A = this chain, B = another copy of it.
Amino acid sequence: MNDMSPVTTAKDWASDQEVRWCPGCGDYAVLKAVQRTMPDLGVAREKTVFVSGIGCSSRFPYYMATYGFHTIHGRAPAFATGIKLANPELDVWIITGDGDALSIGGNHTMHVLRRNLDCQILLFNNEIYGLTKGQYSPTSRVGTRSPSTPFGSVDRPVTPCMFALGSGARFIARGIDVHKNLPEVLKAAHAHRGASFVEIYQNCVVYNDDVFASFTERSVAADNQLWLQPGEKMLFAGGTKGLALDVEHLCLKVVEGDDPAVLVHDPKNRGVAGMLIELPQGFPVALGVIYEDPAPTFESAVREQNAAAASGKTPDLQALVAKGQTWQVEKEPHKL
């Protein structure tokens, strides 16, 4: 992807289309973050494709001055797979929502992750169906009152990053729509070869306002956000607290920041990744790159196999149609 692409600014990545989200929607912040990040990635606009499903978040591609495909609900990963296999040169971004990626689209999300297609998947998680006016989603918490659950939802939500881990994802990260670290997370996702799964906590001001306030509110942010850095200790609350292994119960526990037992973040450790993703009540929310362990990408494996299978053979159409046992019919009906 690192071709000689011209120097650009965020503005160059903004399309001429009027942005149509509700005033105050977290999507605006993510859009800005992405537009601010693109110039640093050394990719060309014409080689960049944003593919989305359906939802408020999925309107995203219209606002990028790149190629964009606003497809159908839940299927963006399948379109992205066809695009990338047809032209691996393209830098493919999948934009999706919690309903798009995890309600109707869960299966495609799983398969694009296990196949490890080289792409970036930005899941805008607002724990609600925005575009259809506020029904609860598979990530909504139990008890969520919505037009379709006037007495509160009863089904237990899925944890997006845990689902990604279970699906075989090789890169799992979290960010927050308005948080300054988002561009860093996006860059890491882009640097990773393979399917990079990024869950972005996104505030829906109209139907689910402040649902993430418990850890995004400035007042509590420091105590409730654990920003992970590869090779760095798992510290939060301004370094006064950290995470260590509870050897007795085989799980994580909170200790003083200076406790030597504080764990160093190894993004390759799947077991710990699962624990970080599912940190229970009373723990901070794990953010940044939680898990990363590169593996061969799908499109490269396919391309290599195609090349290997084709090598030495010449694509002779006439020979192909004449393949197999043949016989010649002369003017006269022919006898063996």
Copies of this chain in its oligomeric complex: 2
A164 on interface, CB distance cutoff 8 Å? yes
Given contacts A107-B104, A111-B138, contact A166 B157 (CB under 8 A): no
B274 pairs with A250, CB closer than 8 A: no
Which residues from B are CB-within-8-Å of A157?
114
A178 vs chain B, min Cβ distance (A): 28
A154 to B152, CA, bound (A): 44
Which residues from B are CB-within-8-Å of A308?
151
Q: Which of A4-12, A180-188, A215-223, A297-305 is near enough to bind chain B?
A: A297-305
> What 1/0 mask marks residues of chain A from 290 to 334 whose CB sits below 8 Å from any chain B CB?
000001001001100100110000000000000000000000000
A258 on interface, CB distance cutoff 8 Å? no
A116 on interface, CB distance cutoff 8 Å? yes
Q: Which of A243-257 contact B (CB under 8 A)?
A: 245, 247, 249-251
A271 vs chain B, min Cβ distance (A): 5
Taking A110-B110, A154-B298, A271-B272 as known contacts, 4 extra A-B pairs with beta carbons closer than 8 A to each other, sorted by chain A number, are: A104-B107, A154-B301, A154-B302, A166-B167
**Contacts A/B (CB < 8 Å), 22 sampled:** A106-B110, A107-B107, A107-B110, A110-B110, A110-B158, A110-B163, A114-B156, A114-B157, A116-B155, A154-B301, A154-B305, A156-B168, A156-B295, A158-B168, A159-B168, A162-B165, A163-B166, A165-B166, A165-B274, A270-B278, A271-B272, A274-B274
